[in-house]
Chain A
């Protein structure tokens, strides 16, 4: 049985970020999914969260990759221009990139409880084929959700706790 080659926009973006040496970490639900043992344990999520080192040059590099791939880039639902990048970095605003096919990335410039350096110092480097993928440590990802304390994060932690108890 032959399968068609599967285009993976997430892997494509991460490969390009690596090529441009963008300092990034996969975080959020996407990051937590990297620790799942199988597809059954992976959580559905609308967006793919990428924590980028919040320096202007690093964010510019990440945005150039997204622009080349045809993503529409916005902050607070307004299209992002060059001047807006500086403002987004200084106020640590989340940058959202989407394409007409519904693929959505969030470039996150700050997370609850940790700086980029604190998250990056013990991050895992998984692979996707030959592409290295940097993912924040699982316990830090969960602790960050707890520290954020949003209702959706607390509900997620309850679900994750159930999942862990099933594994015991």
Chain B
């Protein structure tokens, strides 16, 4: 199974059309669309050339599309506000203390090597 690539999104963000990418690669536009949609495979070399045209890394093209974590979109904004509250430099020394105290209480350690 081929993987859908983020070529269309990356091109749109940069104001580049798929036709112009196809032209530079001397390919048919339909082939580029098929590669972007995952209907057609692509060699690493060609993928690198597409990334060069778009001025991005290959990782941006193959990274999974950002998906919602929760169905309820309001929770996503709540997550953002939690991140805002927890800015750089906040003292969080209590976190590891709590985790350690709980581990001592429940003694949940497990062996890492077989006897």
Contact = CB atoms under 8 A, between A and B. Distances in A.
B99 A10 contact: yes
Interface of A: 6, 8-11, 14, 30, 33-37, 39, 42, 44-46, 48, 72-74, 77-79, 96-98, 101-104, 113-115, 118, 124-129, 133, 137-139, 142-143, 146-147, 157, 161, 164-165, 167-168
A79 B113 contact: yes
Size bin of chain B's contact surface: 35 or more
B82 interface: yes
Contact of A126 (B72, B89, B99, B113): B89
What is the predominant secondary structure among interface residues of chain A facing chain B?
mixed
B78 A139 contact: no
The interface centre, meaning the residue of B83, B99, B107 with most chain A CB atoms within 10 A of its CB, is B99
Nearest to A167: B78
Nearest to B59: A115
Given A9-B100, A44-B102, A125-B88, A101 B95 contact: no
Given A46-B110, A139-B80, A146 B69 contact: yes
Nearest to B91: A127
A34 B95 contact: yes
Nearest to B94: A39
A122 B82 CA distance: 15
Given A8-B97, A142-B79, A164-B79, A35 B86 contact: yes
A128 B99 CA distance: 14
B112 A124 contact: no
Interface in B62-115: 63-64, 66-67, 69-70, 72, 74-76, 78-80, 82-83, 85-100, 102-104, 106-114
Contact of B110 (A11, A33, A104): A104
Please provide the 7 A-B residue pairs with the shortest distance between their CB atoms, ordered closest to farther: A102-B109, A10-B96, A128-B93, A74-B112, A126-B92, A96-B112, A98-B112
